Structure 1
């Protein structure tokens, strides 16, 4: 019982520490906040099951990111199939900030559209690497999640950043 209780405490500590970053990453994939919450919960349920079954997990962070990433990709594909709509991010309606004057709102909207277009111009691995790094994930964890080396993840992030800087200024 004590070992089980200790495991639960370790998982709770890890959950409290890691959940915010994982949640932000999932939201950056343009899925709803409710779905992001569900994916985080499912990920940690699966982690608990794996640890209780005494499965060997080399790095908790990498495992959690990979499971959450895969769940998000599967959920996005399922939603697109069910709704028969264009991929996320296209046709979204942006709300203007009421504190801005019309010119500021227009310029901000244009900046966001350029950034979205720039992100969409990246290939899938570059986009995922860049978004994960922007959320503070380590290159090692990005590599584990996407099935690439940490050096390749670093190179993809740098390439994406250079491309975004060239497009967005």
Structure 2
């Protein structure tokens, strides 16, 4: 609890594993689960049926829809928005600062719309929107908006037609 009496609100049937820290002023839906040592900072709002994996960080004022799956070691910076049924693979990194330590520029976190999948070790740069149903391949470096239902692959990411087997959205 904070000095002003605020406590996190956590829905029914939560599983919060050892070492996880959830700050005050957080609202979490039902059936929330974490791995070990996850961090959920202030001002974050999380939907139902969400998993935040081991050593993952939601760095404050994040918004997560229902059915989101965040795997081990993922970083979501302040202001990140994840739609429903978003999947973030192990060690995916989202960023919000276009010029770290160089200017006093505004932070601009990524937005991932519904049914987006992001592969392991992919990086999404500040202000990028990944459109509904898009798929970001493992190790991709996304520097610009990804259109809906598109495959982003490479560094920097190039866009390709989404293969048929990757179409149809994510099952929560």
- Structure 2 length-normalised TM: 0.26
Greater helix share, 1 or 2? 1
Higher strand share: 2
Which protein has the larger Cα radius of gyration, Structure 1 or Structure 2?
1
TM-score normalised according to structure 1 size? 0.26
Larger RCO, structures 1/2 (Cα 8 Å, 6+ apart): 1
